[in-house]
Structure 1
Amino acid sequence: MNVESPTALAIAQEKPASLGADFSWMFVGNAIYAGGQFVTLMLLAKLVRPEMVGQYALGLALVYPVMLFTNLQLRAVLISNSHQHAVFGHYLGLRLLTTSLALAIVFAITQILSYDRNLTTVVLMVGVAYGVETISDVYYARLQLHDRMAEISKSLIARSLLSVLSLVFATYVSRSVLWGIAGVALARGVILFSYDMGGRTQGLTAQSKWFSRSEPLTPRFDFAVQRKVLWVSLPLGVVMLLGCLNSSIPNFFIKSALGDRSVGVFAAIGLVVSIGNMAVVSLGQSAFTRLARSYAAGNLAVFWSLLGKLLALGMAIGLCGMLVSKLAGREILTMVFRPEYAQRADLLPWIMVAGGVSFMAQFLGFGMTAANLYKPQIGLNAASILSLFLTCYWLVPQRGLLGAVFAMLVATIVQLAGSIIVLLRGVQLQTRLYTQRAEPA
């Protein structure tokens, strides 16, 4: 894929960082970003009435699935060379169009649900704040393509810190969640325009540092090309939408069978897995470019070697989490939450088992996307969701919260097994293609 024309752009020649260095940068960036999300909710709860916090939570619940679908995982598609004729500007232009469409869909939903003007404005402002983030994500794709993971991490850190400061200042002065979210949107916009789009950040040496004067960093609109990119990436949008459902199905059955309190206990204990998940996402993002390049070049030995190491790490993270939760789960839950959560410390080891299987499945998901195996992931995720739904329906009324954990474990096993099958078949097909090309006519 010609990401930029060689004549229009010169990339500063830097030795690519090691996988360990990339992971370190991404882990720190993702950790601070995740911490910023947590602090945002905590500070809102302290600064405004619960009703306003509820408006913000409702905005997230409405905006997140829509944006996740319309994002189409263009970052992964760009990096994995999925469309040979598209340059960076085409992806940026498409992201601008899909983000605008997402905001229109969000507005339409607020009207269908008959939200009042104040709630509609809050929800739309959440959409704007998230929309700015999606534009940064495309610039992250270009940075990741050129192994500039440190710049991505610096952007995440700056964006998180400035967003929290803006939220606190705007909310404290106005006592309004709307102005607090507007402050977050403004902070994200400042980082986008001043850092993410900057020529120095992007490694440009032959262009002005200002994005508006640098052709490779500006959007392009060629609807014939973008229609093809859309068609290629649409399955990944569906996959992300299905992934959203995976996290909400257990809560639905728990609420129906056990009530709101049990939903809160289950959600809080499940947050412990997010620590391992943060490491998995950081590792996957750091290794993704290498996976995509080795697969595209037909260097399957490197592809499988790297993927095998990731799977071993995923298993190790899960086993360590299970061991720690077995030895000190009650103490951890008491310290992090409250003593009443520690009463269900029996859930934690099983949650970590399900988490370990999920970590391995996530790494295989990075592998499938790197190998351009998009459409099979739809059926795979649908099968996982179906298994989760059926096992929740059967186990939650009988076994309560432990039944929900077992249902999650079954679904992740289905995901892991299916991912292995899809990858093996995809690699076999790739091997045949390279063999046929190598044979003399």
Structure 2
Amino acid sequence: MSLRMGLATSSGSATADLSPGPAAVSPQSIARNVLWSFSGNVLLAFCQWAIVVVLARLGTPHTVGVFALALAVATPVILLASLSLRTYQVTDTGCDYAFSEYITIRVIAMALAIMAIGGIAFAVYGVDVAWVIVLVGVAKALDAVSDICQGALQQAERLDLMARSMILSGVLSLAGLTAGILATGRLHWGVMGMIAASALTLGSYNLPQAWSIVRQRSSASLGKSSAWRPRALTWLAWSALPLTLAHTLTALNANVPRYYIEEYLREAELGVFAALSYCVMAGQTVLSAVAQTLLPRLSALRAAGDFSGYRRLLSKSLLAVTVGGAALVVAAAVFGEPVLRVIYGAAYATRMDVFLWLTLGMAISFPVWLVDAAISSARRFRVQFPIMAVSLASSAVACGMWIPRYGLVGAAWSICLALSMMLVLKTLVLIQVLRADESR
């Protein structure tokens, strides 16, 4: 099928000085880190959302649907190959492994992931769509290597440097995609622009900053040996496997509704659902700012034996995000329709029913993010796989029942159900962790 798009005329330019400067290793305060992480996540989310807007405005719902399908196919494979090393790296308070070891595993795994994505894409989809899927996979693989660099910055509680990385990545990816589409009218070239942006961010900012932080830390933080310790690399990958499987199921869980929409509805409907979901994902990305800030601090508090400080920080954060989520649901009910009309157009504004349910799902996801961070800081990785398996199964059953009958509203219901299952089960695990802490 053709992916050529009719183009609207537009122009614009932007410049930003995001070149890496000297990186002091001293951790920043929680408030400063939250502010920086919030800023980085907001701007990254804005750029990701703007990519969908560019596709919607310069193309058609079908174009947005193909891009969403590419993400749905590539993302679970990339996450599986990522081995969830970022979380394992940030909570590695004993510095059992070197930064070079984390990044070595990540590079090898990404090469395998790209081959797997290519095999899936060309076996299942037409050539044009398959190439888009592969190119999106390459862009995501480069971002996954940058993710390890950001993990080094996060572990050192230098989220200001991490936020600059996120901003640079988002701005360049948006610019690359827009330039590619404007120049050629082809989605393929737009995604190639994203690949160039990811490579530039990795080489010019992320690697230099990460190595600067690593070199400035104590000898223990530099790891135990050189980059090539086969047994250590194998053991690291094996240790991270339970969390890897859990995060892979998380990605599948997020994309299950899209698979069912593609099966039972039309690609245009998938495009509408993807566009509405990106508005909601922006809120979830903001919440990840708080989780990213809290994870290294919660890990440090536990390592120091300060369990009262751990509980105090966690309870205040949970209260804040719960209230914030409720406020966003109210705001969506009041202002959602005119906002959707301005951003996407009249065709999308008519689906306020779907948007409200998606917003409710976002509100449920807010405490899920923080409870997950608390469990990870306690390194309770093995229990997360069965939790996500139950959530995924409930989502798949709900999608199979509700999407054929209720359409996109049924898809939104399935998301709310899956997130509710996650919240209940992860909260039970957190209660066990807190009770174990009290007995120490």
TM-score range, shorter chain: 0.7 to 0.9
Contact 1:151–1:201 (8 Å) recurs in 2: no
SS of 2:383's equivalent in the other structure is helix
Question: CA offset at residue 141 of structure 1?
Answer: 0.6
- Indicate yes or no: 2:301 matched with 1:291: no
Corresponding residue of 1:160: 170
SS of 1:197's equivalent in the other structure is helix
Determine the C-alpha separation between the residues in 2 that align with 1:44 and 1:257.
23
Which residue of the other structure, out of 96, 100, 119, is the alignment partner of 1:108? 119
SS of 1:294's equivalent in the other structure is helix
Alignment-mate amino acid for residue 372 of structure 2? G
Alignment-mate amino acid for residue 86 of structure 1? Y
Alignment-mate amino acid for residue 63 of structure 1? A
Determine the C-alpha separation between the residues in 2 that align with 1:257 and 1:114.
17
Cα distance change on mapping 1:42 and 1:141 into 2, 3 Å: same
Alignment-mate amino acid for residue 397 of structure 2? L
Question: CA offset at residue 359 of structure 1?
Answer: 1.1
Corresponding residue of 2:364: 357
Cα distance change on mapping 1:51 and 1:26 into 2, 3 Å: same
Corresponding residue of 2:43: 32
Corresponding residue of 1:7: none
Cα distance change on mapping 1:59 and 1:11 into 2, 3 Å: closer
Contact 1:323–1:349 (8 Å) recurs in 2: no
* Identical aligned residues as a percent: 25
Question: CA offset at residue 330 of structure 1?
Answer: 3.5
Corresponding residue of 1:6: none
Corresponding residue of 1:92: 103
Q: Which runs of 5+ in 2 are unaligned?
A: 1-21
Superimposed CA distance per residue, residues 309-356 of structure 1 (whole angstroms, 9 cap, x where no aligned partner) = 221122112210122233334333433344454444345544433322
Determine the C-alpha separation between the residues in 1 that align with 2:291 and 2:434.
19
Question: CA offset at residue 201 of structure 1?
Answer: 7.6
SS of 1:112's equivalent in the other structure is helix
Which residue of the other structure, out of 58, 68, 78, is the alignment partner of 2:89? 78
Contact 2:61–2:271 (8 Å) recurs in 1: no
SS of 1:70's equivalent in the other structure is helix
Q: Which range moved further: 225-234 or 236-245? A: 236-245
SS of 2:28's equivalent in the other structure is coil
Determine the C-alpha separation between the residues in 2 that align with 1:376 and 1:134.
24
Corresponding residue of 1:223: 230
Alignment-mate amino acid for residue 354 of structure 1? G
Task: Name which structure has the greater RCO, CA cutoff 8 Å, separation 6+.
Answer: 2
What RMSD over aligned residues (CA atoms) do the two structures have, in Å? Answer: 3.4
Alignment-mate amino acid for residue 140 of structure 2? Y
Corresponding residue of 2:396: 389
Alignment-mate amino acid for residue 306 of structure 2? N
The aligned runs of 1:89-238 (5 Å cut-off) are: 89-113=100-124, 116=127, 122-198=132-208, 202-203=212-213, 220-238=227-245
Superimposed CA distance per residue, residues 347-384 of structure 1 (whole angstroms, 9 cap, x where no aligned partner) = 55444333222211121111111111111111111111
Q: Which runs of 5+ in 1 are unaligned?
A: 1-9, 208-214, 436-441
Cα distance change on mapping 1:171 and 1:273 into 2, 3 Å: closer
Corresponding residue of 2:321: 314
